[in-house]
Structure 1
Amino acid sequence: MKQINKGIICLLSGMALFVSCNDEWDAHYDRNGSVPQVSLMDLLRNDASLSTFTQIVEVTGTDSLLVSNQTYTVWAPVNEALINVDMTDRAALERLVKNHIARYTNPTSTQPGKYIYMLNGKRMAYDDAESFNGTSLEDGNERAINGVLHKLRDTIPYRYNFYEYLSVYPEYSKVYEFINRFVEKRYDASASVGTDSVFVDYNPMLYSYYYGIGHIDDEDSLYTMILPDNAAWDKAYAHISPYFTTYNANEAVADSIRDVQTGQAILNGLTFRGKVDDPASKDSLVTVTGNVIYQTSRYFAPYTKLDASNGLMYLAEGDLILDDTCTWNKEILVEAEYLNGRTTSTSTSAYVRNTDVNSAVQGVSNNSYLEVTNATGTAEVTFEIPQILAGKYDVYVDFVPPVIDGVALAEEKTRLEFRLVYPRADRNGTSNISRDDDDDPDLIIGGDSVGDNKVKTLKVWSALELPAANYYDGMWFMDENNSTDDVKVRTTLRIRTNVKASEVNVKYRRRFRVDRIRFVPVP
């Protein structure tokens, strides 16, 4: 569908260009009646200085276009410009030819800077009447019955788009093969007629709005992309893949999951919208996948910058700089007031409370928190912790002090216990870790003085190492058959009061106020 729509756009653009550029041109030939009755291919074959380009046109089968009734413009390089062309490289020859031919008549009187779409979809323009896309014209406006021929002193430099560059140079084969592994055939209803079904290639890695890395194969798009060569890819892969360790009874499936998630983690930090010519001048940059990069000068510093036909490439040769905690190993935040993934015990009540500029406690995340209470027993709430990786985390819980409800409650306090349930790496199922020491003063929250009205942060665990990832990647979410209800093993954090019956209303209350939970990666 996308390719067909793009073709329609190009066709309409070309038709508009044809009309605007050709009024004066056609009027001239209508007046003097001097339109030659020869084809563009005849013009090429009759010019000895263009014999090499003519041979390339014939080898690639493009001669059938230049003798047809359709109208084309040819910018033909002279023989001297093609001395070093490898006549045995068919793919390179096809790239060269399509880089020098466009549909419709485009004389040198075309307005400078106006885009002309070549046969390969790349956009080019006259700099002036004597230069086209940076290449000088030796002669121009030789008319044929099916178009016009211009003669160039040199070849038009071929600028690859990102996808082409990755496909052509073998040192970038690993990132290219990873992107390409997701190509699928999709039925195209608009192109299918009767019983003739048309299927087109679709790659969600490129075209998905929410999870794709960008239309890096599209000449009409504009991006900046870091391209890791195979050595850089391997180095990044070795660093990242252990974090996506997972369990599956079928070891090959587990390895496949880790492979896909690692590759996506690398790609998530590579593509940016528009042309970023001077990254160091930016305070921050946002990737196509929504990740914010702050140390922009460091992030791009060692790379070689190269023009692409649809943006700017930065070539990462041998090493790839990824800000881990910005692109893939990010801090996990769970806002307590969000209902999704939150459960309470039977007799526990949980109320979402809001704050404003007049509240006694300022700095509450999202200006909302969860008040958890139980009048008859233990107050208990459990939160799902999404997208956990296999690695180390500092685990924090932020609490709102009781003074939020008035000075009379400022000294109210409670004792808490925590229990984290997480997946195992050696077999299906979970392990757990608890923190519930009655004598640990750090597990007591509240009891503050009247003036102490800041959000309180409790560090529950330091450098807690989790053995397996509980992570669901973009490709999984793109499958319409998957939903969060299909998640079998979940990572959860339970928070509850640890108050004996004899202590209720004497030393402690069975009530607490949770702002948010934070899992901060430890390098």
Structure 2
Amino acid sequence: MKKQYSLLLIGLLGVCIAACKQWDDRVMLTDSALTRTLFGEISAQPELSKFSDLLVKSGYDKLISSSKNYTVWAPTNKALESVDLASLNDTTALRLFVGNHVALQTYPAPAGTQEVRIQTLNGKYIPFANGRFGESAITASNKYVANGVLHILDKALAVQPNLLGFINSSKDTYVQNKVLGSLSYLVLNPDKAIVDSISSTTGRPVYRPGTGIEQKNKFTDLVYNLADESKQFTYILLTNDAFAAEVTKLSPYFKTSTADSTYNLASYQVLKDMAVEGLYTVDKLPAVLKSKFGVDVPLDKTALVRTVPVSNGVAYVFSKSNVAVQSRLQPIVVQGENYSSQLQNVASTAIAIREKLNPVTSQTFRDLSIIAHGVSGFWVRYRVPEVPNMKYKVYWVALNDQTRNYRTNTLPIVVSQRLAMGSLTSTTFANIAVPNDTYTEVLLGEYTTTSFGTLDMYLIANGTNSMALDYIRLVPVLP
């Protein structure tokens, strides 16, 4: 029994020693991988030799050999066969291409169906899901090394332009893109300009000519920055005939003294509604896309002629998009408190901007109240820029809720006023005595502008009577 027991112990000890050796071998293998850098790991894999060479040529080999953590999505030698490597002889092009496959920080493959957008070293954002990176399939993932993680791709990622890059590159093909490009202008950025001296007359800096000049674009300022890689956009691009048809529909409402300026104004009104924030894939494109400015843009998929994927979204080329004119020409609302000037200074207690509650809508609002001003024909002016030329129905809401003149203690307070359109001498609308406690819109009548531009409106007191205004609303009247 003792002998058998001894043999059993010896056997168990042997098994333990063998298991420990296997564990030591496993730890040694794991530790070996964790002692290599990303570049060391890539260099050690024969199937990644071409990408390793590109890393060296671009200088990124040193970057991914440093102490910072990176993630590399490395295309195999076979994957790189479809890439024109001669096109990468230019250093900038090479770094853009290689940088498309490298990101700062460690990104393991997302779990399940989760998808994240990863910013790579060239500034592009690429969707990363379990099994895919952009349009490439991941054949091996989550290879951890000392300074990050390595994934292997079956296809190299081409560097896609962003939306603005695509637009600029196709201005000769699409008139719509040419119009967007024409909205560029130059400005001086003092922070980037070189100061040659300080003016002894004004005390202001004198900048060196040609320095600090930056290019901006009206579309970028007022609609979207289509070069922003961190966001995604859907851009509706009309064929030249379709774009011309939309501009022709709007031109009568943006008439100026010259044909060129009329075209520029009308074409911008079409263009500003052709981009929305967010990526809509073809299968998710709605029948009607609502623009940033509330305009309904119909999308008939039978008129879709081309799809252009870009790094920050997608461009769809349509051969038609029949946007209703009334959708583009929306009502104009002018708030009573936002007047631009007045006849003369009056007592500070005469003019009040009030915060009120509308019992009809249960919404709070601000309005203008002018009482005891003591000036016959006192007026305030409203300046409304960029008013299309057409006929409007003109409404106002004027609240007379004052029951006593606090200065004279007389009852009641009379609010009597008129709205002069275009000039002080306009007699389009007569004086109106505003009834007490009326919160609903009152139709004043119709008014037609003669050209596109700034519209002046004057709220004028009937004698020395009090005045009040919540808002004025101009509603387009279409034929």
For the criterion TM > 0.5, the same-fold answer is: yes
Report the counterpart of residue 215 of structure 1 in structure 2.
225
Aligned equivalents of 2:96, 2:363: Cα separation in 1: 61
Superposed displacement of residue 154, structure 1: 3.6
Aligned equivalents of 2:255, 2:401: Cα separation in 1: 44
Letter in 1 for 2:389: G
The TM-score normalised by the length of structure 1 is 0.57
Q: 1:233 aligns with which of 243, 265, 285?
A: 243
- Relative to 1, partners in 2 of residues 1:353 and 1:364: Cα closer, same or farther, differing over 3 Å? farther
Matched, 1:332 2:319: no
Report the counterpart of residue 383 of structure 2 in structure 1.
385
Report the counterpart of residue 516 of structure 1 in structure 2.
471
Q: Deviations over 1:241-282 (max 9, x none)?
A: 4433334xxx6xx84x55554454334323333445657599
Structure having greater relative contact order (Cα 8 Å, sep ≥ 6): 1
* Greater gyration radius: 2
- Relative to 1, partners in 2 of residues 1:244 and 1:148: Cα closer, same or farther, differing over 3 Å? same
| TM alignment of 1:303-452, pairs within 5 A | 304=304, 308-311=310-313, 313=314, 315-322=316-323, 329-338=329-338, 340-344=339-343, 351-352=351-352, 354=354, 356-357=356-357, 366-371=365-370, 378-398=376-396, 400=398, 405=403, 419-421=420-422, 433-435=426-428, 443=430, 445-446=432-433
Q: 2:294 aligns with which of 292, 295, 310?
A: 292
Report the counterpart of residue 216 of structure 2 in structure 1.
203
Superposed displacement of residue 98, structure 1: 4.7
Superposed displacement of residue 320, structure 1: 3.9
Letter in 1 for 2:392: D
Cα RMSD after superposing both structures: 5.8
Residues 415, 468 of structure 2: 8 Å contact kept: no
Q: Deviations over 1:172-221 (max 9, x none)?
A: 464256336525476695899x9x998685425466xxx43223212212
Structure 1's unaligned 5+ residue stretches are 1-23, 423-430, 437-442, 471-490, 500-508
Matched, 1:102 2:102: yes
Aligned equivalents of 2:41, 2:336: Cα separation in 1: 77
SS in 2 for 1:434: coil
- Relative to 1, partners in 2 of residues 1:400 and 1:362: Cα closer, same or farther, differing over 3 Å? farther
The TM-score normalised by the length of structure 2 is 0.61
SS in 2 for 1:175: helix
Superposed displacement of residue 123, structure 1: 2.9
Aligned equivalents of 1:401, 1:69: Cα separation in 2: 73
Q: Deviations over 1:24-75 (max 9, x none)?
A: 99942466x899989969968967xx9xx99xx7xxxx87216863438463
Structure 2's unaligned 5+ residue stretches are 1-27, 66-71, 197-207, 405-409
SS in 2 for 1:518: strand
- Relative to 1, partners in 2 of residues 1:41 and 1:124: Cα closer, same or farther, differing over 3 Å? farther
- Relative to 1, partners in 2 of residues 1:67 and 1:205: Cα closer, same or farther, differing over 3 Å? same
Aligned equivalents of 2:413, 2:105: Cα separation in 1: 84
Q: Is the strand fraction higher in 1 or 2? A: 2
SS in 2 for 1:366: strand
Aligned residues: 418
Residues 340, 382 of structure 2: 8 Å contact kept: yes
